[in-house]
Structure 1
Amino acid sequence: MNNKFSRTTIATALVLAFGNTAFAADPANESNIFTLGEINVSGSRAAIPATGGSIVTHEEMNDFNRETVVDALDLLPGVSTTGGGQRNERMFYVRGFDSRQVPVFIDGIPVYVSYDGYVDLARFTTYDIASIEVAKGFSSVLYGPNTLGGAVNLVSRRPVKTFEGNIGVGVHANDRLNSNGSSTNINLGTNQGMWYAQLGLSYLDKSAYTMSRDFRPVAAQPDRERRNAYSTDKKINLKVGLTPNATDEYALNYVNQKGEKGSPPYAGTAINPNYWKWPAWDKESLYFISNTVIGQDAYIKVRAFYDKFTNRLNAFDDARYATVTKNSSFYSFYDDYSYGGSVEYGNKLSPFNTLKVALHLKEDFHREHNLGEPVQNYRDRTTSISVEDTHKLTDKLDLLTGASYDKRNGKEAQEYDKTRGLYNFPVRDTSAFNPQAGLIYHLSDTGNAYLTVARKSRMPTIKNRYSGGLGTTIPSPDLNVERAINYQFGISEKLTAKTRVDASVFYSDVTDMMQSIEVPGTVCNNGNLCKQMQNIGKVSIKGIELSMDSAVTRTLDLGGSYTYVERDNKSDPAKLLTEVPAHKLVAYAKWAAMPKLNVIANAEYNSRRYTNDTGTRVAAGFTLVNAKLSYALQKDVTLEAGVNNMFDRNYAYTEGFYEEGRNFFANLNYRF
């Protein structure tokens, strides 16, 4: 894991960058977006989300040096991200809904983990992504099931030139300019008219990180050099497509990610630390997408996929990471896979009406065991039928209606106990009906106003129903779906040719939320009352989002966003809702200081957030400032250098799991 970059090498790169003066804009543009991978409601207009969604562009990911998907999402209003926590998994929340309630897709293909519905988005790099689309509250029913709070779609790149690509290398350093990581990415593409091909390769390594000088050492973390904080992620992305005519397209995509990571131990005083390592966090996806036009007004879009996830967790006894002898220590193996697909039919029935119908199927297989124990098998089948209709009431007013019927059939569920051996759980089926409607008023060619209502649901995961929580939880095989009614009203418009504003208010009424409660009269392995997941939660979520982007002058762009989220646990007010700050503020500036030099800075404020539901663990609020200089050595070559956490704040998303202090980076990029 150790990088071979010397302090002198990094210092030289930084001096070269800061000592020069200029920058060229990223040539990536909307034409490089793989449009087959998008899922848009009718009534959308280019770059204007019709119903309150948000988009991170490839240019924004580059400008703000967002190398992972979770860091790119952090730029958006309504989205808050979390730190690694005990599992060192970076997650996100959209308007208070977590990553299980807002599933992740790649080009419309579901990629969330079969077992628990999560996906560690720190393992997903952004080098080969054209855009990230986030639907909030009201999402197209064409996504399929489980979109309780929205959906996140990672849209890949598609070549437009005969030969195009980019090569990038980067180095990372702590505040003493000691190397602690590196990155490499290559994207190559060709478009030959009748066919195209795209290849993406990336490598992102983090050997360690250094915490703020304000950190106060504890026994598990005796100094600033964060223990067990390494990670390595490698990815290959290959796409081959056929375009036999101006309307039809057929693409085969293969993505292979291989990752490994450590989990930094808890560095607070409230709980005992875990000593965990993941020697494997591997994901492999093969998927096919096609679009075939029928006549002048109809089409059929087909998606088919096979997705595989392999996970290894080694839970050690102590900080030596050498022995596995305690009851809390183990070697765990996950071997999951999913397959399925969807068929979508759309038809413009008249100049005023467009109808879309989709069928979805997903088969999930989860296999797990600890070393020396038999393999436990779990299998679910999820199906969905959805209908979406857009009716043009007037030249400016659209009525969007939709509904889906989702069903999950439990096929198999096993558990192993040293006393009972391998045994089967009873399995059951769950289903949900999800109607929604929205009015979209086109204020102009550059803006919309919208009012939407959506009844959404999420089905319980395998983990929700059957996990024993390492001996602390009673399984809940009869767990039912969560439900929410999401309301929103908003406006997105250009006030002037150079200034865009977005504003929205939202409210969600969540019922049957899955919450863990203590069960009276029980005793579990830890000597405490056992817990169990039950559908008892009633939660209200309300808030506002405001954002503005403006080209103030020919050389200066300013912008930012503010999000307020208030969540109330109406079923048990004494239990606090965790992980989401009530206030989040993001601001940025881009200044073309000289013809070839750009200065880019951004700041982010998060208010405090609770780590546990009793409020005894609180992650304090924080403000981060990051800055970057980018210099155009020549037309297609840029040299960048920057600093993250400029003021060396000691901060945490999860109490006791402190993030990196002041750190530096330098990148060299060549585009052709």
Structure 2
Amino acid sequence: MQINRRPVRRSKCRGECMVFSKARLRIAGFCAAVSAACISPGLAQAQSTGSDQTESRADLLGSDIVVTARKREESAQSVPLAISAFSGKSIEARGVQKIDGIATFTPNMTFQNNPSFGGAGSSAAIYIRGIGQKEFLPTTEPGVGVYVDGVYVARSVGALLDLVDVERVEVLRGPQGTLFGRNTIGGAISVTTRKPTDTFSGSLQAITGRYSRMDAKAVINAPLAEGLYSKVSIATFNRDGYVRHLVDGRDLGDTGTLTGRLDLRWQAGDALELNFAVEGTRDRTNGPAFVLHKVNYQSKIFNPQNLPMLPPGSTPVEGSYVVNPPFDAPTDNFALLHNYFATLLGGQPCLGFTPYSPQGSGAACFSDRFLVGSHATAGTGPQYSRNDLWGAQLGADWDLGPIQLKSITAYREVHGNYARDGDHSPFTILQLADILTQSQFSQEFQLLGKTADDRLKYVLGLYYFKEKGNNINTLDFTPVTFRSGGRFDTESYAAFGQATWSPIEAVDLTVGLRYTDDRKSFLPDQEILVDKTGGALIAASPNTPQARILPFVRVHLNENATTPTATISWKVTGSALLYATYSKGFKSGGFVQRVFPARDSVPTFSPERAEAFEIGFKSKLLDNHLTFNAAAFLTKYDDLQVQVFTGIAPVTKNAASAEIRGLEVETRLSAGSGWFLEGSLGYLDPKFTKVDPAATEITLASSFERVSKWTISAAVSKSIAFANGGELTARGDWSYRSGAFMDALNSPELFQPAYSLFNANLTYEFPGKTISVFAAITNLTDKRYLQTGVYGSSFGLYEHLYARPREWSAGIKWSF
């Protein structure tokens, strides 16, 4: 097939890149990708003209995808939404094994495995257009909703999905408060798995690689009877960690996952289809790969000027500091408090009187000797992360001619057990343990229809969600051991509707509305277990051993929200679409679960709300070989839920309002002769417009945490077809992120400077395309960059968790 020779405005594309490069030299890589997309027909002409040419592996990356972003099947290019869609085959061709890998190719998106303060493994921290959530606590909601086959995954633990047998992944950017609804203030990620078919088929795959990697996947699709089909998929993922736990030689950051799923599909006639699935995952690891980066030994209570010290009872001397226990105990810095106790109670030289040395030299002193680098930790406390997840769902589709009825019923459970040593030493300064149990039930009904000669399309729906569970945190600190957490319960009701009317053939008007009613409760089960000071520090307060930190009384929180959307779209040509959208989003409030010292009531925080304005266009050019999409948006973001350390525990509070301006560009080109190029650019400019005076941790000049101003990617693939029917495909990709802080306090020690990543893979498909072998390298330049970071001012400890280093892998796949 020959691409038509249409005039191409080469100077315009190059001119746009020149403007970008003048504004920011760092986006030159993206300009190169766009310039390649804006090629003259000469490159397109290089495509083979043979009539027997088949679609290459590289061409699969650029094919249009059918999505269900509006609850009905539509081409991704025809949906007036900012959506990045990836088919299962294209995800595989990109070398992505886990769902967080799609962030590499999606503008303005951050998707990380974030253990955060508690150490839960496989915990997703997702941000889209600057809005998201990093905390896994069940009393805090995510800012980006994750859906699997239409089922909302409520907890971030377990949302870091392994992509075993996926039909497609859709990333919807911006508030999706009407059709997806629950906690999609930043956007939604919708994963659709493959349904069983009437053909016996399947695949077997094995992968090995660096760090003793050993992965295996098996998928078998088998018809059972007329109209009844089944599919079984099972996978195991195993990999050593990359941070050595020195005390026992174990590696942290390892992978040990077993997951499986059974699907049954019953076509009970021409009008009714039932789909049932049950799945489970078992995850066992040695815990997250945190390392100790820096220690702050400063205290506002004890010797704040770092003066030479005199023993207790000494005559004051100008320019010196007389130790005055217990009244000057540095209770605002537990690392220093440990040395204070070791000096005054244990006779260890941990403070150094002249000159003052807060680290000391004794064996019982906490000091910088525990900063053992980015590949090891000297902690001796328990380290593990264990998750067990399972779920079942039943989907029913009735086709009644003018209308279709859909029902999605689902149940999910999470059982987690986590522990980590946050001080990275033989001492007990910061040791954490968590037990999480959670179950959820959801029911959704949808009514879809068309009328007025198909000029009016609509969807109406009802939604119910029920969640309950228990999360107990045991926190062992220098002065005290206490239990935090408690039982949580959530019930949510919603009704929604959306309609699209086409007054003329080229124009669509869409309006939608959702009403949500959330009802939450929390029963805190929090008390002091051990007062290690003998009562000297905390006996004078209600914080006596076995005393309640919060009243053992269930508290309630009721919220409701109305979230509308309105869109106008214009099909300029059969391959070009312009649109403008207005939408609102809502994220539930919650309870502050970690509390210390004691309080007489449970702290709460209110919902977040976002109002978004967006314009964009989508186009298919060069005989549908070039896709070029762009969007610009403004989001007004109110009552931001910001997590800060105001004492011992991280506290979530409504701290500010903000405006977020941004731009997104995505382009894909199937250039012929097996060539495929793609690129994306995301620009974000979030600014606080109002800060609560009580939120002293942030200012109007503060940066959003985990949000890069620039996210850019580019990739090129080349497929070579051989005379024997085999095909070789090579792919290389590059991604860039500008600098970002890992906490709301904008701690310089938790700032990740701008960085680039490079990946490459090579695949050979044997004749007949039933057997393929492949090899890949991720993080080709072995870049060390932060995946997350933690700092608590009460502990004085800066912790880093770096992403995995350079890794190679190789594998084989057999499809039948």
In the superposition, the TM-score normalised over structure 1's length comes to 0.84
* TM alignment of 1:40-119, pairs within 5 A: 40=70, 44-45=74-75, 48-82=78-112, 84=114, 86=116, 87=119, 89-99=123-133, 100-113=142-155, 118-119=156-157
RMSD of equivalent CA atoms: 3.2
Q: 1:640 aligns with which of 749, 774, 777?
A: 774
Q: 1:625 aligns with which of 740, 746, 758?
A: 758
Give the % identical residues. 15
Aligned equivalents of 1:28, 1:307: Cα separation in 2: 34
Aligned to 1:536: 655
Aligned to 1:427: 556
Aligned equivalents of 1:503, 1:286: Cα separation in 2: 38
* TM alignment of 1:563-602, pairs within 5 A: 563-571=682-690, 572-595=699-722, 596-602=727-733
Aligned to 2:402: 297
Kept in 1, the 8 Å contact 2:502–2:509? The answer is yes
Q: 2:746 aligns with which of 605, 614, 621?
A: 614
C-alpha displacement at 1:508, in angstroms? 0.5
Aligned equivalents of 2:600, 2:95: Cα separation in 1: 44
CA deviations on 1:232-286 (whole Å, 9 max, x unpaired) are 1111111111112344311111111111231112242257888663441121111
Aligned equivalents of 2:231, 2:382: Cα separation in 1: 37
Kept in 1, the 8 Å contact 2:107–2:665? The answer is yes
Q: 1:369 aligns with which of 459, 462, 472?
A: 472
Aligned equivalents of 1:474, 1:665: Cα separation in 2: 55
Aligned equivalents of 1:340, 1:180: Cα separation in 2: 40
CA deviations on 1:579-618 (whole Å, 9 max, x unpaired) are 1111111111111245221111111111111123234221
Aligned equivalents of 1:397, 1:252: Cα separation in 2: 38
The 1:388–1:30 alpha-carbon spacing in structure 2 relative to 1, beyond 3 Å, is: farther
Aligned to 2:303: none
Aligned to 1:347: 449
Aligned to 2:239: 206
Aligned equivalents of 2:428, 2:255: Cα separation in 1: 26
Q: 1:654 aligns with which of 788, 797, 811?
A: 788
Aligned to 1:358: 461
Aligned equivalents of 2:180, 2:597: Cα separation in 1: 36
Opposite residue 598 of structure 1, the aligned amino acid is T
Q: 2:489 aligns with which of 364, 374, 379?
A: 379
Aligned to 2:208: 171
Q: Determine whether 1:263 maps to 2:288.
A: yes
Opposite residue 579 of structure 1, the aligned amino acid is R
* TM alignment of 1:176-195, pairs within 5 A: 179-191=211-223, 194-195=227-228
Kept in 1, the 8 Å contact 2:80–2:567? The answer is no
Aligned to 2:616: 490
Q: 1:315 aligns with which of 388, 411, 420?
A: 420
Opposite residue 413 of structure 1, the aligned amino acid is L
Kept in 2, the 8 Å contact 1:226–1:264? The answer is no
The 1:29–1:565 alpha-carbon spacing in structure 2 relative to 1, beyond 3 Å, is: closer
Kept in 2, the 8 Å contact 1:180–1:208? The answer is no
Opposite residue 592 of structure 1, the aligned amino acid is S
C-alpha displacement at 1:343, in angstroms? 1.1
Opposite residue 286 of structure 1, the aligned amino acid is A
C-alpha displacement at 1:165, in angstroms? 1.0
Instruction: Note the residue ranges of structure 2 that are not aligned, 5 or more in a row.
Output: 1-54, 134-141, 297-334, 336-376, 475-481, 529-546, 691-698, 790-799
C-alpha displacement at 1:81, in angstroms? 2.8
The 1:478–1:645 alpha-carbon spacing in structure 2 relative to 1, beyond 3 Å, is: closer
Query: 3-state SS of the aligned residue for 1:431?
Result: strand
The 1:653–1:607 alpha-carbon spacing in structure 2 relative to 1, beyond 3 Å, is: farther
Query: 3-state SS of the aligned residue for 1:60?
Result: helix
Kept in 2, the 8 Å contact 1:278–1:311? The answer is no
Which stretch shows the higher mean deviation, 647-656 or 358-367? 647-656
Opposite residue 761 of structure 2, the aligned amino acid is K
Which stretch shows the higher mean deviation, 299-308 or 546-555? 546-555
Opposite residue 459 of structure 2, the aligned amino acid is K
Opposite residue 234 of structure 1, the aligned amino acid is L
The 1:270–1:392 alpha-carbon spacing in structure 2 relative to 1, beyond 3 Å, is: farther
Aligned equivalents of 1:594, 1:181: Cα separation in 2: 31
Aligned equivalents of 1:247, 1:444: Cα separation in 2: 35
Instruction: Note the residue ranges of structure 1 that are not aligned, 5 or more in a row.
Output: 1-22, 174-178, 211-219
Aligned equivalents of 1:279, 1:615: Cα separation in 2: 27
Aligned equivalents of 1:475, 1:652: Cα separation in 2: 37
Aligned equivalents of 1:249, 1:651: Cα separation in 2: 48
Aligned to 1:511: 638
Opposite residue 786 of structure 2, the aligned amino acid is A
The 1:94–1:238 alpha-carbon spacing in structure 2 relative to 1, beyond 3 Å, is: same
Query: 3-state SS of the aligned residue for 1:269?
Result: strand
Aligned equivalents of 2:597, 2:236: Cα separation in 1: 38
Aligned equivalents of 1:537, 1:474: Cα separation in 2: 25
Aligned equivalents of 1:101, 1:59: Cα separation in 2: 28
* TM alignment of 1:234-273, pairs within 5 A: 234-261=258-285, 262-269=287-294
